[in-house]
């Protein structure tokens, strides 16, 4: 009996020592704000992709490993040479802002690891920039199509990165640099086009002004023609009589004689 008790006590003490050693050697860790953790269980299933550890205090068994990811936004800058649609080398400076999806860091860790900005994001940026810019000519990139190019790059990147558990915040073209001779030629062409447009505008304004004057002159001529056609001798005499009578009302008028040489009244003053 005593021997059995000793064995039982020894087993309990051994188990207690194992538990004590386990707790003593356990990793006590804190996950900070803006971070998430994914646990690798050495003896029970490997990477636990389903359970994501939130910020706070955690206890991890010594044989397990907690992989902590910063899920805040990161900026990746890329300077590269690409070919336009006509084969011209163009220097492009692109910046993208990304962050991993917090609830998918298990899958991200399994496929790309913590170095995902270099192993995933940067190659996708290069691919998207080459593909989109290769559709345009240098003149379009220099002037009219820059916004369209940036939108195309962002849409292409967003589609590629979302499949790999990365959220794209923004894709920005900071600079597009053409060879100096090409840039100068494009600037000269654009200046010539602007001068031509200005000249065309001036000519159009002058044409409109000339047309306005022609219409005004035609209107006046038509008005005079109508007026001349409507004036007869009797109407003119009636108008003359009306005017004479009005003048006769003046205090300086003394005698009105009706029936002059032309049939109109005469006014004799003092």
The ranges assigned to domains in the chain are 2-70, 74-178, 188-230, 233-268
- DSSP label at residue 143: T
Torsion of CA 179, 85, 87, 195, to 10 degrees: -40
DSSP string, 218-266: HHHHHHHHHHHHH--HHHHHHHHHHHHHHHHTSTT--EEES--TTSS-E
Question: What is residue 25's predicted lDDT score, i.e. its pLDDT?
Answer: 46
Which residues, 6+ apart, have CB-to-CB distance to 15 below 8 Å?
Answer: none
pLDDT value, residue 90? 83
Assign 106 to helix, strand or coil: helix
H helices present in 120-179, as ranges: 122-133, 138-142, 146-162
Residue 186: its pLDDT value, please? Answer: 59
User: Measured between alpha carbons, how far is residue 229 from residues 220, 224, 232 in Å?
Assistant: 14, 8, 8
CATH 3.30.479.30 applies to domain 74-178: yes
For the sheet containing 166-177, what is the strand order? Answer: 74-83, 89-100, 166-177
Cα gap 44→51, rounded to integer Å: 14
Alpha carbon distance 185, 147 (integer Å)? 22
Element at 198 (helix H, strand E): helix 180-230
Three-state helix/strand/coil letters over 15-83:
HHHHHHHHHHHCEEEEECCCEEEEEEECCCCEEEEEEEECCEEEEECCCCEEEEEECCCEEEEEEEEEE
Measured CA distances, 90 to 127, 188, 259 (Å) = 15, 19, 99
For the chain, which residues score pLDDT lower than 70? 1-11, 13-14, 16-26, 143, 179-199, 227-241, 243-270
Strand 74-83 to strand 65-70: parallel, antiparallel, or no bridges (unpaired)?
unpaired
Q: Give CA–CA dist 240/242, Å, rounded.
A: 5
Q: What is the pTM of this model?
A: 0.59
């Amino acid at each position: 009996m005593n021997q059995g008790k000793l064995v039982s006590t020894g087993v309990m003490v051994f188990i207690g020592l194992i538990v004590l050693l386990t707790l003593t050697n356990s990793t006590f860790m804190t996950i900070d704000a803006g971070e998430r953790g994914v646990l690798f269980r050495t003896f029970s299933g490997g990477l636990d992709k389903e359970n994501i550890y939130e910020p706070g205090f955690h206890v991890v068994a010594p044989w397990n490993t907690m992989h902590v990811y910063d899920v805040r936004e990161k900026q990746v800058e890329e300077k590269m040479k690409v070919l336009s649609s006509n084969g011209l080398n163009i220097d492009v400076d692109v910046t993208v802002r990304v962050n991993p999806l917090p609830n998918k860091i298990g899958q991200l860790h399994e496929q790309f690891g913590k170095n995902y900005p270099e192993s995933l994001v940067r190659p996708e940026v290069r691919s998207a920039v080459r593909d989109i810019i290769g559709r345009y000519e240098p003149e379009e990139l220099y002037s009219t199509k820059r916004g369209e190019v940036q939108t195309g790059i962002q849409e292409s990147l967003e589609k590629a990165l979302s499949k790999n558990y990365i959220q794209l915040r923004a894709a920005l073209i900071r600079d597009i640099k053409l060879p100096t001779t090409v840039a100068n030629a494009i600037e000269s062409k654009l200046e010539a086009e602007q001068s031509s447009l200005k000249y065309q505008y001036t000519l159009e304004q002058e044409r409109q002004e000339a047309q306005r004057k022609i219409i005004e002159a035609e209107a006046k001529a038509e008005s005079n023609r109508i007026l001349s056609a409507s004036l007869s001798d009797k109407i003119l005499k009636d108008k003359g009589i009306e005017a004479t009578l009005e003048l006769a009302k003046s205090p300086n008028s003394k005698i009105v004689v009706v029936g002059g040489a032309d049939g109109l009244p005469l006014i004799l003053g003092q």
